[in-house]
Structure 1
Amino acid sequence: MQSSGLYWQLAQRLRRQQRSARKGLGFLSFITTASTVGIALGCIVFIAGLSVMNGFEEVLEKRFLSLIPQVEFTAVDGQLNDPAGLVAQAQAFPGVRMARRVIRTQAMLQKGTEFLGVQVNGIDLEVEQAISGYTSSTALQALAEPNRVLLGANLAARLGVSKGETVTFLVAIANSFRQPRRVVLEVAGIFGFGGQVDLQQAYVSLPTARKLVGLEQGVSAVELVLDDVFSAKQITNDLGRQLQEYLYLDSWMRTQGHLYRDIQLVRLVMYLVLMLVLAVACFNIVSTLVMTVQEKHRQIGILRTIGLKQGGIIRVFVWQGIQNALRGVSIGVVLGVLFTLNLPTIFTAIQSMSGTSLLNGEVYFIETIPVLLDYQDVVFVALCALVMGALATIYPAWKAAKLDIVKAIES
């Protein structure tokens, strides 16, 4: 019974003969190199693509969803009956990291003849707020004073206002702007998150928000910050069933879930396309082994006469194909990891040379390509390429094992 080491050594010998016989087997050598390069390129693109998708998902989860309500319970009649009780009940629920009182309303912002629609967020400055990471502590302190507002950088630039100037907010009364409530607020500071958020959001304190919407006390909603943002839908439903008050239940999965679904759709398409790329590269392994079988009839016949069985021949050619794939995978994984780690630098260099911004900060909330290298993805890509390379060896290995011994030696 031959050991696996023998089959591996025989496969290595066949590969060395291919490399040393370039003149006689030039086309075979080219096909072998093409299969190696194809597998390497497939691994590089696969690793980089998955890392970019991971990066976008991380930005969505840890940055974008820090400002967008993950779960929100809003009063049906405009004011919560017991906001303190709702906050306490929500914070005691498993998976909820924090519950905050808020007042949200839609308003028109006026500066001179310029009108812009914005969402005004009345926030509780006594608890931690995500917006504190995108503005100065001085601006947040100033926001606590009456009739102050925090504007996004794009919104302030659009209106041509800066800190200390005043703007007028028009809030509809009874869902009508015919006689809106007008409130003049002073700009306490500017926040810079990026993208459309800067153009569509404004922040005020809870007392100022009550003045805008006409509430004497209380709040209109409670928002939740979750340990796992992807459990938002389940927590919304489970916690909502326990609440006694009639509320509107909402989560980011409904309002912004299309962003996550788009990322997953792109990831799925990438899986399919890159699997096809690897399949085409592995097909070259089939061509290589078929041509090797044709060129090595005599050697195969000799191996059979000295006692190597059909199963052994199959193993030799399977190992040869795996060695070809392993070389491409090794090169692809190393270069793929290096390329992925340097992708943001490459992306920035391309933007500098082209003079254009590929990710416009005024449209998107990021200006450089996000990358998150997950080594589980690297292992997955390597295993997929090796498995496909091994499957590609089955047919030519079977053909080699079925050769007639006498005809093989005489050829």
Structure 2
Amino acid sequence: MKIAMVGAGYVGLVTGVCLADFGHDVVCVDNDRTKIEALRRGEIPIYEPGLAELVKANVAAGRLVFSDDLAAAARAAEVIFVAVGTPSRRGDGHADLRYVHAVARDIAASVEGFTVVVTKSTVPVGTGDEVAAIIAAANPEADVAVVSNPEFLREGAAIEDFKRPDRIVVGLEDERARAVMNEVYRPLYLNQAPLMFTGRRTAELIKYAANAFLAMKVTFINEIADLCERTGADAQQVARGIGLDKRIGPKFLHAGPGFGGSCFPKDTLALVKIGQDNESPMRLVETTIAINDQRKRAMSRRVVAACGGEVRGKTIGVLGLTFKPNTDDMRDAPSIDIIRGLLDRGAQVVAYDPQGMDAARSVIEGIAYAESAYAVAEGADALVLITEWNEFRSLDLDRLKAAMQVPVFVDLRNVYRPEEMARNGFHYVGIGRPAGSVRADQAEAAE
């Protein structure tokens, strides 16, 4: 099929490349000419494992091209995906739909013949109706079916998620679009991917409901972790104990510094606004947002406490900046609030991240950057592990300790075992563990 993907950001680029890899002819369109020229040179604007190789292979095969000419791409396409940004609108938190509406007007001026227009962007309930109305008003002769097809891609695992999805949700009001969308996703039938057809508004709400539920799950286990520290329980064992219940499941039950990223923060806030507009308040989601915002800042106080209650003039090393591993995305990353809290207390911060330091420089001021975990440890009064990149999971603890001024290790992802860290001479602080730390003398006594 001939497909136009409007928007060459994270969702649009991954989706377009994967569809081309299925054998479709895909044109990825973006109004950022600099980005398009870079993509034509094989330069990928985001870090996503495996993406660069797929782009190269499908460009070479002639199935994938990049363009800034939306009109030409729309005229030739049987299906047009809209994958532009819907950030939180400044001032009220609603999803900003300016880019979606602008693309709808551009599409209306260019489509020829029956065309399926698919909103891939995360949009509030009723946006598909607005897109259809905009196209009809701009071009009453346009023969289009507007479909909602929300994405469920995890950064760092997006290609795997696209090719082996838990489900594919397609919301439509025009039955002609059903056969078209079946054909778009036909290559996935070999994996028996469940293709779920719903009404358009239902599909739009499924996306928000899914992200809000996962955000609540993360926030729940974080609160349980705080209770574990107070009561002497172990949050990791509690999480495993409840996660083995098939009704609950083990995923998103890892205590940590709070959620961030491009989806959970803006989508939970947008769902709250949708609820308010429809006089159906989302009380649980509202509370989840408040708890998560408070938690990220509280993590800096945890570091201060581990350093004896004072960090002024001390050097704090930070391992990991991005909101999760295997991405360079710094949007709403917990590291931002944690580092700002430490800077406000007078600390000097040195950080290292395998992929996120370029992005971090534009959002965090007043810190230094190092080229490795061991360089971060040089002369540090404490290390804080914020993002659980694989290269941080098996650090040489002897080398780390030898480099540090004071062997304090604050592990906000529970990557290391308290007993192991104590045996190696660290004052170790984790999340959701009794008293928050285990010292060397306690480890020796346990042996």
Relative to the length of structure 1, the TM-score reads: 0.27
Select the structure that is richer in strand: 1
RCO comparison, higher one (Cα < 8 Å, 6+) = 1
Would you tell me which structure has more helix in proportion to its own residues? 1
| TM-score normalised per structure 2 | 0.25
